[in-house]
């Protein structure tokens, strides 16, 4: 099976994180935002791309805490939901 570059797949996609009042809904800014969790990654090491969400630049800034408009636990929950939505899209397209 051919390996899919999930980072490239993110380009031009709708944001799947959709942080309330923060999301810019601009597919031109969408990247793959990795969900960080103990056991999935380490210092200076990103998790597997399967644990990433299609994410606009504004939501990504909040996830990475460059901005802090929302509380951390809410951002993590919505990011995780975005990862599941992204996986569902990729499954429906036959890419996962």
Q: Which two tokens stand for residue 36?
A: 């960080």
- Residue 47's SS3 state is coil
User: For 18-41, what is each residue's pLDDT tens digit?
Assistant: 999 999 999 999 999 999 876 666
Whole-number Å distance between alpha carbons of 18 and 55 = 8
| CA 19 from centre of chain | 11
**In the chain, what are the domain boundaries?**
1-19+50-90
Whole-number Å distance between alpha carbons of 5 and 78 = 23
User: For 42-85, what is each residue's pLDDT tens digit?
Assistant: 667 777 899 999 999 999 999 999 999 999 999 999 999 999 99
Catalytic positions are 34
Q: Where are the beta strands (DSSP E) in the chain?
A: 31-34, 52-55
Among 1.20.120, 3.40.50, 3.30.450, 3.30.50, name the CATH number for the domain at 1-19+50-90: 3.30.50
Mind spelling out the 3-state secondary structure of 80-96? HHHHHHHHHHHHHCCCC
The answer to whether the pTM exceeds 0.85 is yes
């Amino acid at each position: 099976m051919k390996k899919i570059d999930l980072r490239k797949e993110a380009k031009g996609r709708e944001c799947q994180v959709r942080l309330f009042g923060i999301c810019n809904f601009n597919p031109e800014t969408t990247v793959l935002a990795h969900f960080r969790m103990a056991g999935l990654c380490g210092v200076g090491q990103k998790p597997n791309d399967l644990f990433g969400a299609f994410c606009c630049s504004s939501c990504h800034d909040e996830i990475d805490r460059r901005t802090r408009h929302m509380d951390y636990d809410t951002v993590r929950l919505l990011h995780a939901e975005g990862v599941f939505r992204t996986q569902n899209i990729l499954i429906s397209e036959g890419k996962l």
